[in-house]
Amino acid sequence: MIFPFFKKKKEKIEVPRFRVDLHSHFIPGIDDGSKSMEESLLLLKGMASLGYTKVITTPHIMADAYRNTPRSILEGLEGLREASREAGIDLTIEAAAEYYLDDGFEALLEKGDVLTLKGDYLLFETSYFAKPMQIEEMIFAIGSSGYKPMMAHPERYRYVKDPLEEYSRFKELGVFFQVNLNSFSGHYGKDAKAKADFLSQEGMIDFLGSDVHHKKQVDTLSDVFASDAYAAIFEKNRILNDTLL
Protein backbone atom coordinates (compact mmCIF):
# COMPACT_ATOMS: atom_id res chain seq x y z
CA MET A 1 0.00 0.00 0.00
CA ILE A 2 1.27 3.47 -0.94
CA PHE A 3 0.27 6.19 1.46
CA PRO A 4 -0.81 9.50 -0.16
CA PHE A 5 1.90 11.45 1.58
CA PHE A 6 4.54 9.17 0.06
CA LYS A 7 3.37 9.75 -3.52
CA LYS A 8 6.16 10.56 -5.90
CA LYS A 9 6.17 14.16 -7.06
CA LYS A 10 5.34 14.65 -10.70
CA GLU A 11 8.51 15.52 -12.55
CA LYS A 12 8.51 18.92 -14.16
CA ILE A 13 8.98 18.61 -17.90
CA GLU A 14 11.43 21.06 -19.39
CA VAL A 15 9.75 23.12 -22.09
CA PRO A 16 11.41 24.90 -25.02
CA ARG A 17 12.48 28.52 -24.95
CA PHE A 18 12.96 30.29 -28.23
CA ARG A 19 15.81 32.39 -29.51
CA VAL A 20 13.65 34.46 -31.86
CA ASP A 21 10.90 36.96 -31.09
CA LEU A 22 9.00 38.11 -34.17
CA HIS A 23 6.56 40.79 -32.98
CA SER A 24 7.54 43.92 -31.07
CA HIS A 25 7.68 47.70 -31.21
CA PHE A 26 11.26 48.71 -30.37
CA ILE A 27 12.06 51.43 -32.91
CA PRO A 28 11.56 54.65 -30.94
CA GLY A 29 8.99 57.28 -31.86
CA ILE A 30 7.62 55.46 -34.88
CA ASP A 31 4.35 54.08 -33.48
CA ASP A 32 2.72 53.36 -30.10
CA GLY A 33 5.71 51.39 -28.85
CA SER A 34 8.98 52.75 -27.45
CA LYS A 35 9.02 56.52 -27.07
CA SER A 36 12.79 57.03 -26.86
CA MET A 37 16.07 55.31 -27.65
CA GLU A 38 16.73 55.02 -23.92
CA GLU A 39 13.47 53.10 -23.51
CA SER A 40 14.26 50.93 -26.53
CA LEU A 41 17.61 49.91 -25.08
CA LEU A 42 15.98 49.06 -21.75
CA LEU A 43 13.47 46.83 -23.54
CA LEU A 44 16.16 45.14 -25.62
CA LYS A 45 18.24 44.41 -22.52
CA GLY A 46 15.16 42.82 -21.00
CA MET A 47 14.65 40.61 -24.05
CA ALA A 48 18.29 39.51 -24.01
CA SER A 49 18.00 38.63 -20.31
CA LEU A 50 15.07 36.34 -21.16
CA GLY A 51 17.27 34.32 -23.51
CA TYR A 52 16.34 35.80 -26.87
CA THR A 53 19.21 36.14 -29.32
CA LYS A 54 17.23 37.70 -32.18
CA VAL A 55 14.29 40.09 -32.30
CA ILE A 56 12.34 41.06 -35.40
CA THR A 57 10.68 44.34 -34.54
CA THR A 58 7.44 45.12 -36.37
CA PRO A 59 6.23 48.73 -36.36
CA HIS A 60 2.59 49.39 -37.18
CA ILE A 61 1.63 50.52 -40.65
CA MET A 62 -1.86 52.04 -40.63
CA ALA A 63 -3.17 54.53 -43.19
CA ASP A 64 -4.96 56.68 -40.60
CA ALA A 65 -2.43 56.54 -37.77
CA TYR A 66 1.09 55.29 -38.50
CA ARG A 67 2.14 56.01 -42.07
CA ASN A 68 5.41 54.19 -41.84
CA THR A 69 7.16 52.92 -44.96
CA PRO A 70 9.84 50.27 -45.53
CA ARG A 71 12.32 53.13 -45.88
CA SER A 72 11.41 54.88 -42.61
CA ILE A 73 11.37 51.57 -40.75
CA LEU A 74 14.75 50.47 -42.07
CA GLU A 75 16.26 53.86 -41.26
CA GLY A 76 14.93 53.53 -37.72
CA LEU A 77 16.30 50.01 -37.57
CA GLU A 78 19.82 51.20 -38.38
CA GLY A 79 19.68 53.77 -35.58
CA LEU A 80 18.45 51.13 -33.15
CA ARG A 81 21.17 48.68 -34.18
CA GLU A 82 23.90 51.28 -33.76
CA ALA A 83 22.67 52.32 -30.31
CA SER A 84 22.35 48.67 -29.30
CA ARG A 85 25.92 47.92 -30.37
CA GLU A 86 27.23 50.92 -28.45
CA ALA A 87 25.32 49.73 -25.38
CA GLY A 88 26.86 46.26 -25.67
CA ILE A 89 23.53 44.47 -26.10
CA ASP A 90 24.10 41.05 -27.63
CA LEU A 91 21.04 40.77 -29.87
CA THR A 92 20.51 40.43 -33.60
CA ILE A 93 17.88 43.02 -34.56
CA GLU A 94 15.85 42.87 -37.75
CA ALA A 95 12.65 44.56 -38.84
CA ALA A 96 9.43 43.78 -40.69
CA ALA A 97 6.05 45.46 -40.18
CA GLU A 98 2.62 44.84 -38.71
CA TYR A 99 0.07 45.75 -41.37
CA TYR A 100 -3.43 46.90 -40.56
CA LEU A 101 -5.91 45.58 -43.10
CA ASP A 102 -7.27 48.81 -44.55
CA ASP A 103 -7.50 50.46 -47.97
CA GLY A 104 -3.94 51.67 -47.63
CA PHE A 105 -2.73 48.11 -47.17
CA GLU A 106 -4.36 46.98 -50.40
CA ALA A 107 -2.48 49.69 -52.31
CA LEU A 108 0.86 48.69 -50.72
CA LEU A 109 0.26 45.04 -51.52
CA GLU A 110 -0.48 45.82 -55.14
CA LYS A 111 2.81 47.73 -55.41
CA GLY A 112 4.76 45.05 -53.52
CA ASP A 113 5.92 47.76 -51.14
CA VAL A 114 5.87 45.60 -48.00
CA LEU A 115 8.30 44.38 -45.33
CA THR A 116 8.00 40.69 -44.53
CA LEU A 117 9.60 38.30 -42.11
CA LYS A 118 12.03 35.58 -43.22
CA GLY A 119 10.21 33.08 -45.41
CA ASP A 120 7.92 35.84 -46.77
CA TYR A 121 5.52 35.77 -43.83
CA LEU A 122 3.42 38.93 -43.87
CA LEU A 123 2.24 39.95 -40.40
CA PHE A 124 -1.20 41.58 -40.35
CA GLU A 125 -3.80 42.72 -37.85
CA THR A 126 -7.38 43.96 -37.96
CA SER A 127 -9.72 45.99 -35.79
CA TYR A 128 -10.22 44.32 -32.42
CA PHE A 129 -13.97 44.85 -32.51
CA ALA A 130 -15.17 44.84 -36.13
CA LYS A 131 -14.35 42.06 -38.55
CA PRO A 132 -13.34 43.52 -41.92
CA MET A 133 -16.06 42.80 -44.47
CA GLN A 134 -13.54 41.66 -47.07
CA ILE A 135 -11.07 39.92 -44.79
CA GLU A 136 -11.15 36.66 -46.74
CA GLU A 137 -10.51 38.48 -50.00
CA MET A 138 -7.56 40.34 -48.45
CA ILE A 139 -6.07 37.14 -47.06
CA PHE A 140 -6.44 35.56 -50.50
CA ALA A 141 -4.70 38.59 -52.03
CA ILE A 142 -1.77 38.19 -49.62
CA GLY A 143 -1.32 34.59 -50.68
CA SER A 144 -1.79 35.41 -54.37
CA SER A 145 0.97 38.00 -54.07
CA GLY A 146 3.41 35.31 -52.98
CA TYR A 147 3.34 35.93 -49.23
CA LYS A 148 2.31 33.75 -46.29
CA PRO A 149 -0.43 35.47 -44.24
CA MET A 150 0.37 35.60 -40.52
CA MET A 151 -2.37 36.93 -38.26
CA ALA A 152 -1.07 38.88 -35.27
CA HIS A 153 -2.70 38.03 -31.93
CA PRO A 154 -5.86 36.24 -33.19
CA GLU A 155 -6.86 35.72 -29.56
CA ARG A 156 -7.41 39.45 -29.09
CA TYR A 157 -10.14 39.89 -31.69
CA ARG A 158 -13.42 40.41 -29.87
CA TYR A 159 -15.43 39.86 -33.03
CA VAL A 160 -14.55 36.15 -32.90
CA LYS A 161 -17.69 34.72 -31.30
CA ASP A 162 -17.41 31.09 -32.41
CA PRO A 163 -13.70 30.28 -31.99
CA LEU A 164 -13.79 26.77 -33.45
CA GLU A 165 -15.67 27.77 -36.59
CA GLU A 166 -13.98 31.13 -37.19
CA TYR A 167 -10.40 30.15 -36.42
CA SER A 168 -10.82 26.95 -38.44
CA ARG A 169 -11.95 29.03 -41.41
CA PHE A 170 -8.83 31.20 -41.17
CA LYS A 171 -6.72 28.04 -41.13
CA GLU A 172 -8.52 26.80 -44.26
CA LEU A 173 -7.44 30.06 -45.91
CA GLY A 174 -3.80 29.30 -45.10
CA VAL A 175 -3.37 31.75 -42.23
CA PHE A 176 -0.56 31.26 -39.72
CA PHE A 177 -1.44 32.30 -36.15
CA GLN A 178 0.95 34.36 -34.01
CA VAL A 179 -0.33 34.39 -30.42
CA ASN A 180 0.92 36.90 -27.86
CA LEU A 181 2.69 35.23 -24.96
CA ASN A 182 1.27 37.67 -22.44
CA SER A 183 -2.27 36.64 -23.38
CA PHE A 184 -1.67 33.48 -21.34
CA SER A 185 -1.18 35.59 -18.21
CA GLY A 186 -4.44 37.50 -18.64
CA HIS A 187 -2.53 40.67 -19.53
CA TYR A 188 -5.08 41.54 -22.23
CA GLY A 189 -8.14 40.39 -20.30
CA LYS A 190 -10.16 37.22 -19.74
CA ASP A 191 -11.47 36.96 -23.29
CA ALA A 192 -7.99 37.01 -24.84
CA LYS A 193 -6.71 34.47 -22.30
CA ALA A 194 -9.62 32.12 -22.95
CA LYS A 195 -9.05 32.30 -26.70
CA ALA A 196 -5.28 31.83 -26.33
CA ASP A 197 -5.91 28.72 -24.24
CA PHE A 198 -8.43 27.50 -26.84
CA LEU A 199 -5.94 27.94 -29.69
CA SER A 200 -3.31 26.10 -27.65
CA GLN A 201 -5.65 23.19 -26.90
CA GLU A 202 -6.70 22.94 -30.55
CA GLY A 203 -3.10 22.92 -31.81
CA MET A 204 -3.61 26.03 -33.93
CA ILE A 205 -0.65 28.17 -32.78
CA ASP A 206 2.26 28.57 -35.21
CA PHE A 207 4.27 31.42 -33.67
CA LEU A 208 4.57 33.05 -30.24
CA GLY A 209 5.31 36.77 -30.01
CA SER A 210 6.05 39.21 -27.23
CA ASP A 211 4.29 42.20 -28.86
CA VAL A 212 6.32 44.35 -26.48
CA HIS A 213 5.41 48.03 -26.39
CA HIS A 214 6.64 48.87 -22.88
CA LYS A 215 8.61 47.48 -19.94
CA LYS A 216 5.71 45.90 -18.06
CA GLN A 217 5.18 43.53 -20.97
CA VAL A 218 8.82 42.40 -20.84
CA ASP A 219 8.56 41.86 -17.07
CA THR A 220 5.39 39.77 -17.42
CA LEU A 221 7.07 37.36 -19.84
CA SER A 222 9.10 35.78 -17.04
CA ASP A 223 5.91 34.66 -15.30
CA VAL A 224 4.46 33.35 -18.55
CA PHE A 225 7.51 31.19 -19.25
CA ALA A 226 7.16 29.62 -15.79
CA SER A 227 3.44 28.92 -16.17
CA ASP A 228 1.54 25.70 -16.81
CA ALA A 229 -0.26 27.40 -19.70
CA TYR A 230 3.07 27.95 -21.47
CA ALA A 231 4.15 24.35 -20.91
CA ALA A 232 0.81 23.13 -22.27
CA ILE A 233 1.38 24.89 -25.60
CA PHE A 234 3.96 22.29 -26.62
CA GLU A 235 1.64 19.34 -26.14
CA LYS A 236 -0.31 20.06 -29.35
CA ASN A 237 1.43 22.88 -31.21
CA ARG A 238 4.52 23.05 -33.41
CA ILE A 239 6.01 26.48 -32.75
CA LEU A 240 8.04 27.87 -35.64
CA ASN A 241 9.82 30.86 -34.09
CA ASP A 242 13.33 29.54 -34.52
CA THR A 243 12.80 28.82 -38.22
CA LEU A 244 13.24 32.61 -38.54
CA LEU A 245 16.86 32.55 -37.37
Does residue 15 surpass a pLDDT of 80?
yes
pTM of the predicted protein model: 0.94
pLDDT digit string (tens) for 148-190?
Answer: 999 999 999 999 999 999 999 999 999 999 999 999 999 999 9
Q: Is residue 8 part of a domain?
A: no
Q: Is residue 128 part of a domain?
A: yes
Does residue 192 surpass a pLDDT of 60?
yes
Does residue 13 surpass a pLDDT of 50?
yes
Does residue 4 surpass a pLDDT of 90?
no
Domain count for the chain, please give it. 1
Residue 76: what pLDDT?
98
Residues 6 or more apart whose Cβ sits within 8 Å of residue 218: 43, 46, 47, 50, 210, 212
Give me the domain span that covers residue 80: 16-244
Does residue 228 surpass a pLDDT of 90?
yes
Task: Tell me the percentage of the chain whose pLDDT exceeds 90.
Answer: 93
Task: Tell me the percentage of the chain whose pLDDT exceeds 70.
Answer: 95
Residue 1: what pLDDT?
46
Q: Is residue 186 part of a domain?
A: yes
Q: Is residue 72 part of a domain?
A: yes
Q: Is residue 35 part of a domain?
A: yes
Mean model confidence pLDDT for the chain: 95
Q: Could you give the C-alpha distances from 12 to 15, 88, 91, 227, 232, in angstroms and in order? A: 9, 35, 30, 11, 12
CATH code: domain of residue 137:
3.20.20.140
